[in-house]
Amino acid sequence: MSKPHLQELEQALARRGWEVIAVHPGDGYSISATWEILRSSRQPSLFIEFDGMDADGDSRLLLEESYGCQVRGRKVARLYFRRVNRSRSLWEQELAAFVDALDN
């Protein structure tokens, strides 16, 4: 479900000057993968962690199956991967707010 979300997230980051410089493996439990992003060599990298556990807490998800992500150390910077076709404008608003939160 989240391949289109991942593409849109990466494009939104790029429009704001962020670049995904590395994709790190998850922890084998609650994080499926981590994107390391950077905008300027004068600032430290940020890490976007993708949810890696299914709703039941039983199995681990691949990055492409993740249902959301958050910025490491920033509880308010959280994004859920909604069904885009059903709530396109809400998804776009939440995506924009998530990317905006990276500047704070």
> Any idea where the domains of the chain sit in the sequence?
3-101
Task: Provide CATH code, domain 3-101.
Answer: 3.30.310
Tens-digit pLDDT profile for residues 34-62? 999 999 888 899 999 999 887 676 668 88
Which residues, at least 6 apart from 36, have a Cβ–Cβ distance to it below 8 Å? Answer: 20, 21, 22, 23, 24, 45, 46, 47
pTM recorded for the entire structure: 0.88
CA 39 to chain centre: 16
- Please calculate the CA angle 64-96-17 and round it to the nearest 5 degrees: 85
Q: Are 63 and 39 in contact (CB under 8 A)?
A: no
Confidence tier at 85 by pLDDT (50, 70, 90): low
